[in-house]
Each structure stands twice: as C-alpha cells, then as structure tokens.
Structure 1
Amino acid sequence: MDRHIKIIATLGPGTETYEAVKELVESGAKIFRLNFSHGGREFFAKMVDIIRRLEKETGLTLTILQDLSGPKIRTCDVGLPPFEVSKGGEVLLGTSDKFEKVEEPFICLDIPEMYEGVKEGDPVALGDGVIRFKVIKIEEEHLIRLEATNSGLCPPRKGITFPGMTTPLAPLTEKDKADLAIGMQLGVDVVAMSFVQKPEDICNLRAEMIQYGRRVPIIAKLERIAALERLKEILEEADGIMVARGDLGLELDLAELPVAQKRIINACNNAGKPVIVATQMLLSMVNSPMATRAETTDVANAILDGADCVMLSEETAIGRYPGETVRFMRKISYEIEAYMFEPGRLEIDRGGERDNPSTFLAYAAAMLAGKTNAKAIVCHSTSGATTRLLSSCRPKQSIYALSSDHTVRHFTNLSWGVIPAEPLVVIDDHQERAEVFVRQSPVFEEGDIVIVTAGQPEKGKSVTQTNVVKLYEKLSKEAS
C-alpha cells in the first residue's frame, strides 16, 4: 500500500549523484527540493536531469521544488574577532560607518532600512536565535543599544532577525529574480517563496513568472508573524503553504510554535491546499543513523496534525545517512497512518465549507469509498482542484489523480494520499477516461470497487466542475 504522507528531500552535496537520488526515490521520496540559497546553475541543471531521468525509468511522478532564498539579513564583518557576551551584557548594533566612533562591543548590520521602526523593548535574535537581545536604547539613527537576555558567542556574518517586526525588505530580491529565470528555464514544477508577509508578495512573484510563459504553483513559506496575521489572505493567493519552523521559531516564543503549526495546517486542510512541515524533523540523522525519540514524535505529530508533506533539509542535503533518513520517515508514516485508520479513529470531516457542488461531491466520494471499502478513488480533475479537496477529506484509500496537464500532475503530487497519473487523451469523455484507466491499470484486480469522480462537460463546453461520483466495479476482460 502506498503511504499517504509525502516526503520532500532536499538535494545537496550529499545527494548529488544519480545513485544517491535513485536511493531516495526507492526509499520513498517523491518530491525534491532545490535550495537556491546554496549551489549554482550547473548543480541544479544536473539535479533536474537526474530527476527527469529517474521519472522516465520508474514511471513515477517526481516533483521538483525550487526554493528561493529571499532577503538574507546578515551581520557584516568589520574585522573584529568573535566576542563573548554574557547575560545582561550590552552591545551596540549599527551600520559600518558607526564602528569607528564606538569603543564598546559592536555588531555591524549594514542595511539601513532594518533600523526603521525599531523601538525600545523590541527583541533581536542573532545566529538562528542562539543569542537573544532586547533593545534598551536608540542611541542615534542606525545605532541602537542591545542588552543580552542570554550568554553566547557573537561572530560576524550571522543571520539576524527582529521578531514581530514587518521586514521592510521585499521578499523577492534581484537574486531571486535571476534564480527564478534559471528555474523556469530548467523546468521546475513548483516554486517556494521565502519570507512572505502579505498576499501581494505572491502576486509579485506570479507577475515575474509571466515573462517566462509559465504559471507554476507557488508555495508561501510562513516565517514571519506578519504572515500569520494575514494567513487567510495569503492562503487565498498562494497554491500551498510551508510551515518553515526555523525562522518562524525565531519570530515566535518557542512555546507558541506547536500551536501555530496546528493552526496553519488546519487552515490549509480546510482550504483544500497542500501544507508542508519543515525544519529539523530528523536533524540528528545528519550525523547519526538513529533519530531521537523527540524527533520521531515530532514527525508523527506533524502527520497527525494534517500535514500533506514532511520535509528533510540538511538530513538529505549534507547528511551522512540520506537514504536511511527517508526510510525511517516512511516507517514512521506507516505506523501513524495505521493508527489513524483504526476503526472509529478518523472521522472524515475535512474539505472546508461544503456549500458548493465540487466540495460536497468530494466529501461524498470520500465517504462512499469508506463505506464500501473501495480499493481506491480515481479522480479526473483537469485543474487538480477536486483532487486537493478529496485529499483534504483524508480518505483511507489512495487517490489516483488523472490530468493531462504536466504542471497539474506534478503539483497534485504534494497532496496527501494522491498518486498522479496521465489519462488517455484520445478519449474526450472524462468519466470514460477514468474507467479506462481502472480497466487498464494492473493496480486494480477483477472485482475491485473503485469510486470514480469526474467532470462531465456540457455540449459545447470543454471545462466543467466535478459533477459525477460513481461506484465502479472492475470486471474481467470477457465481461467488459
């Protein structure tokens, strides 16, 4: 039985060969993240070629996710060695032109816009939150005094964040635009946008895509409190969401992060849009063949929360055990999904507001599949919208998503329980396409019950919403 949760593996120096990527596919990864914060065009082109080759060899739909860097806010190097700061100690944060005027410990941040709106009492986090400060005085323009709230080392060229503050820097940088051009030319399937703060950010990225003649689905990475405050609007504009817990964990009090994760996932489930949970899922497996108990529970709870995808970053990009990590994540999913589908455990009640025909029919199809103990659901969905609604109902059965659109198939691959497939386009009737797929597929045996959903276009129309749900039994070739 196919696992319903989708595993995303980030490719990097540890997985840059055909053999390494093949092992990831065989271990259960179907989506591959190209992190454009690291690596160049040559590396990404090589990875795309390997993935497309494996896609042809295996017959599987393998999705390529381009992850744009976004604005990297880092401290600069003014020639000072790393220095220790103790809890309660004070340091100055300022632009490089202030450095020669001060004799106290100094952190350089040469982005003047970042000082706008900073006020006393605001938090500041350095180096992935290893050291945290609060602003105790605005000394002058582009120079502020900080007090450390814990102890640690302050090296140069570290990431720095101002939790809770709306960042004045646009999330789509010039580097991102250049990287997007590379991604469009290489034929990536999905693009993830970093540091999204408002729905207009998604619109700007989509407008940038237009010049390349492609409309690629966009995943909004939620890493800012400002984004959480406008989640509903961002969700309406984006095609999917990533809970990017690294930077989001710097913005929020860490104790607030689990609840934020649950709320984001629930909103995505109700909207029928895929949601990815990312960052430090099995981090100890970068250097160890075994995960910790806490990590194992974390992955399990993300699946129970309703995540469509769980993502590996360093674990597969630079880790020593990439294949083992994917296999272990898949093993966790086996156990959790078996638990989810225990009798009486999971009541199908997803799919958001059931006030339109497509949503109601998706819900009805999932219910019918459960009541009849059907082998699978086969959905012919030109746009993939009905497939995603079916997925959000969380049926026990796999959902075979038929679409003749390459982009749609590769995006539905991100949805829980969905197996993308290409229908026979020589048949115009969508319902007939789905039934022919069942008859021809070796997955289904004689006597198997399959729930079929499709849109039957009216005469003179080529597109319609899903308006048919049918219980279909595969008969022997003689009988059919």
Structure 2
Amino acid sequence: MDRHIKIIATLGPGTDSYEAVKELVESGAKIFRLNFSHGGREFFEKMVVIIRRLEKETGLTLTILQDLSGPKIRTCDVGLGAIEVSKGTEVLLGVPDKAEGVEEPFICLDIPELFEGVKVGDPVALSDGMIRFRVKKIEDEFLIRLEAINSGMCPPRKGITFPGTKTPLAPLTEKDKADLAIGMEIGVDVVAMSFVQKPEDICNLRAEMIQYGRRIPIIAKLERIAALESLDAIIAEADGIMVARGDLGLELDLAELPVAQKRIIKACNAAGKPVIVATQMLLSMVNSPMATRAETTDVANAILDGADCVMLSEETAIGRYPGDTVRFMRKIAYEIERFMFESGLAGPATDKEKEHPSTFLAHAAAMLAGKTDAKAIVCHSTSGATSRILSSRRPKQSVYALSSDPIVRHFTNLSWGVIPAEPLDVIDDHQERAEVFVRQSPDFVEGDIVIVTAGQPEKGKTVTQTNVVKLYEKLAKEVN
C-alpha cells in the first residue's frame, strides 16, 4: 500500500550534504523545508542544487518549501544581565529609556508598538513560554509591571509574546522581502508565511511576489489567536495552511491546542486545501534513535485528524538520526493509514456535495475507485484543483496528478495521497494524455483498473473543468 501522508524534512547542518538529503528521499521525505530564520544564501543555494539533482536522478517530484522568518520579537540587552524570578516576583517591562535609574528587576523591549493595547491581567510569555507573567499594572505608556506565574531565569535577547493580543507588527518584514528575493531567484516551489493574522497578509506577500515574475503557492502559518478568529477567510485566501504548534502553543492554553489543531485541519479538509502539522512531532529523536510513546501517538493522531503533511524540524535539521526519524515517521503512517482504511475512518471531511459539476465528478471518481477496487486514480489537472478535490475525499488509491506546469506539480506534492507526474505534451487530448500515461507507466500492469478523470477542452478552448470520468483497464498489448 502506498503511504498517503506526506513527510516534510527541514534541512540544516545535520543534513547539508548530497548523501544526507538522498537518505531522506530514500527514507520517504518528498518535501524539504528551508528555514530562513537560520542559514544564509550559500547554504540555501547548495540545498536547491542537491534537491534538483536528486529530482532528476530519482524521477520523483521533490518540493522545496521556503519558510520566511516573520517578525522576531525578542527582548533587548541593556547590560543588566539575566534576571532570576520566583513565583510572585514583580518585574518591569519597558523600552530602553525606562531602564535608567530603575532598581527593580527590568526586562527591556525596544518595540514601542507592542505596548499598545496591553491591559491589566493580560498574559506575557518569555523564553518560548518557559517563563510566564501576568500584567499587574500599567505604569505608563511604555512601562508595565509584571508578576511572575512561575520560576526561572530571564536572560536578555529571548523571545517574548503577548498571547491573545493582535500584534501590530506586519508579518512581512524587510528581512522577509530580502529572503523572498533569494527564494525566487534560487527557485523555491512554495513559500510559508509566518505569523499570519488576516487574509490581507497573504495578499501582501502575493503582491510582493509579482515583481519577480513568479506566482507560487503560499502556505499560511497559523501561530496567533487572531488567525484562528479569521480562519475561514485565511484558508480561502491561502493555498495551504500550517498548524505551527510552537508559537500557537504559546498563544493558547496548552490544553486548548489539540482542539485547535483538529478544527484547523477539519476546515482545511472541507475546503480542499493541504494542511501541515508541525513542531516537536518526534523531538526526542534529535538525540535518541527511539521516539517516545507520546510522540508516536501524536504523529498518528495528526494523520487521523486529516493532516496532509507532517513536518520534522530539529529532528532532521540538527538531529543525530535524520534518516531514522523519517523512516520511523513513515512506519507510523503505514500502520495508521492501514487502520484508517480497514476501519472505515478514512473518508471525506464532509458529505455535502458541491454544486459545481467538475467537483461532483471528482467526488464520483473517488467513489468509483472505491467500488471497483481500482489500482489508482489518474487525473489530468492543469491547475491542480481536481487532484486536491480527489485528495480531500481520502480515497484508498493513490491519485496520480498529471500537469505540464512544474509549479502545479510541486504544489500537488503537498496533498494527501497525490503523486505528481508530467504528461506527454505532444498529445493535445487530456484524456488521451492520461491513458497514455497509464500505458507507459511501470506502476501499472496488465489487468489493472484505473479511474481516469480529465477536462476535455472544447474546440477553440485550451482550458476547461473536469468533465470526463472513465474506468480504464490496462490491456496486455499495452504493456511495454
């Protein structure tokens, strides 16, 4: 059985060679994340060259995901050193000027905009949420008094968040714009935008792309409560979604995070948009060849929830066992997907049929594949939309998505159960393209039943919606 879940591997110092990336591909990773919060142009260029080389050597579609940093909100250093706090300790948080003459513990934050709208009782999280505070008093415009909820050390230059408040900083920073220019130049396939709060953020990134003559898909990373409040609008505007559980887990009460994950995934499945679950999925495997039981269950539950992709970060970027980690994640996927199909848990996010004929035909193709126990579904999908609809129905069969557009092929690689492929352009008839692909592909043998979907353009037209569903059998004389 083909594994339908897609594995994203983050590249870093632990996987910066041809041999290391090749092992990740052979282990089951087909999507590679370049984290622009770390590393420079030279490293990213090197990784793109390696990935494209492996793409040619293996014949697989390998997708490169550029992950933009977004606004990094960190405390500053005014020479006061680290502060040790205990539960109940009061500290001051203010802009650098407020540190003069202060005898109380002081945390510096040189971003005045972040003080706007802060209220008494609001939570504040420092050092990736390790230290939690509550706002006790607003001393003046750029100085607030905090009370520690737990104990720990507060060194300077650590990340700080104001959970639940809308951040006034634009998610597309000057650094992101410069990094986007690098990504466009070296040829990334997909861009992930950090700290998206509203659909307009996606529009701003798309407008920035236009000047480079490329329009590639955008993944919105959901890390703010404000994003959850605009979830449907963001899903409608973005091409895909990432459940970025690291920062989202700082915004929410941790007990609320699993439900938020399920709601986001359910909404993406219903909209036919690919959704990625990320952060600490197999974190213990950074230093250990074995995952924990909780991590194993976490990966399995993300797949059960309906994720299209599961992502590895430190595990493959700096971990000691990157190949082992991908292989173990793939093994989890094999077991949980087999259970889903055996138990009937795999299926569409909603039974509500769309009114558009092409969408209905895609649904019918998935149903026909199940009823006939077909080997696969092959769709000619110029824009990739049909393959995403088919994916959202969660068929047992793999969906071969034929498109002449490399941008489309690399993006359909993010959808559950979809295998991108390039058709023969010398054939104009889209249905015939799909049938020729079946005849020539070594993945199919004599007697295999394949469900073919295609859009047959009318005379004088080059583009059309899916309007053909056909049950096709590969015959003996067609075997190459």
TM-score surpassing 0.5? yes
CA distance in 1, matches of 2:201, 2:298: 30
Return the offset for 1:476: 1.5
Matched, 1:293 2:326: no
Measure, in 2, the Cα distance between the counterparts of 1:149 and 1:356.
54
Q: How many residues align?
A: 480
Q: Give the whole-Å Cα distance in 1 for the aligned partners of 2:340 and 2:357.
A: 28
- State how far apart, in whole Å, the 2-side matches of 1:246 and 1:68 are: 15
1:200 matches 2:190: no
How far, CA to CA, are the matches of 1:419 and 1:105 in structure 2?
57
Shift of residue 278, structure 1, vs aligned partner:
0.1
What's the CA shift for 1:263?
0.3
The 5 A counterparts of 1:17-416 are 17-342=17-342, 344-348=344-348, 350=350, 353-416=353-416
> How far 1:351 moved relative to its partner?
7.4
Q: Is the 8 A contact 2:5 2:303 kept in 1?
A: yes
CA shift for structure 1 position 83:
1.9
Note if contact 2:439-2:479 (Cα within 8 Å) is conserved in structure 1: no
Alpha-carbon deviations, 1:451-471, whole Å to 9, x = none? 001001111111001111110
User: Residues 51 and 344 from structure 1, CA distance in 2 versus in 1: closer, same or farther, beyond 3 angstroms?
Assistant: closer
Asked if 2 retains the 8 angstrom alpha-carbon contact of 1:222 and 1:248, the reply is yes
Deviation at 1:2, TM superposition (A): 2.4
3-state DSSP of counterpart to 2:289: coil
Name the SS for the 2:416 alignment partner.
coil
SS in structure 2 of the partner of residue 170 of structure 1: coil
| Secondary structure of 1:323's aligned partner | helix
Post-superposition shift, 1:81? 2.2
- Name the CA distance, whole Å, in 1 between partners of 2:479 and 2:175: 60
User: CA offset at residue 68 of structure 1?
Assistant: 0.2
Query: In 2, Cα distance between the equivalents of 1:83 and 1:234?
Result: 39
What is the rounded CA distance, in whole Å, between the counterparts of 2:313 and 2:281 in structure 1?
Answer: 9
**Distance (Å, rounded) in 1 between the aligned partners of 2:348 and 2:263:** 19
Q: Secondary structure at the match of 1:289?
A: coil
Q: Deviations over 1:29-63 (max 9, x none)?
A: 00000000000000000000000000000000000
Q: 1:162 to 1:339 in 2, by over 3 A?
A: same
- Give the distance between the partners of 2:330 and 2:339, measured in 1 at CA: 14
Q: Is the 8 A contact 2:94 2:106 kept in 1?
A: yes
The alignment yields a C-alpha RMSD, in angstroms, of: 1.2
For 1:237 and 1:275, the matched residues in 2 are separated by 14
Which amino acid in the other structure matches residue 113 of structure 1? E
* Conserved? CA contact 1:190–1:218, under 8 Å: yes
Instruction: Look up the equivalent residue of 2:374 and give its one-letter code.
Output: A
Q: Which residue of 2 aligns with 1:446?
A: 446
After TM superposition, give the deviation of residue 352 of structure 1 in Å: 6.0
Counterpart code for 1:31: I
Residue type of the alignment partner of 1:397: Q
- Cα distance in 2 for partners of 1:263, 1:108 equals 37
Kept in 2, the 8 Å contact 1:66–1:190? The answer is yes
Distance 1:24 1:385 in 2: 28
Are the counterparts in 2 of residues 11 and 317 from structure 1 also a CA contact under 8 Å? yes
Q: Which runs of 5+ in 1 are unaligned?
A: none
Deviations 1:343-370 (A, max 9, x none): 5443445476522112211111111000
- The one-letter code matched in structure 1 to 2:84 is E
| Whole-Å separation in 2 of the counterparts to 1:351 and 1:173 | 41
Q: What does 1:424-435 align with in structure 2 at a 5 Å threshold?
A: 424-435=424-435
Give the 3-state SS of the residue equivalent to 1:342 in structure 2. Answer: helix
Question: Structure 1: how far apart are the matches of 2:345 and 2:388?
Answer: 22
Aligned equivalents of 1:142, 1:247: Cα separation in 2:
24
Moved >6 Å (runs of 4+): none
Q: Aligned pair in 2 of structure 1 residues 175, 324: CA closer, same or farther (>3 Å)?
A: same
Once the two structures are superposed, what CA deviation does each residue of 1:330-349 show, in whole Å capped at 9, x if it has no partner? 00001000100105443445
- Is 2:75–2:159's contact at 8 Å kept on the other side of the alignment? yes
TM-score of the superposed pair, with normalisation by structure 2: 0.99
Distance across 1 between alignment mates of 2:350 and 2:11? 33
Q: Work out whether residues 376 and 449 of structure 1, in 8 Å CA contact, stay in contact via their aligned partners in 2.
A: yes
- Secondary structure of the 2:316 match is helix
Contact 2:376 2:450 in 1 (8 A): yes
Cα distance between partner residues in 2 of 1:350 and 1:434 = 28
SS of residue matched to 2:419: strand
Q: Which amino acid aligns with 1:195?
A: F
CA distance in structure 2 between the partners assigned to 1:78 and 1:347 by the alignment? 56
* TM-score between both structures, scaled by the size of structure 1: 0.99
Q: Distance in 1 between matches of 2:478 and 2:374?
A: 22
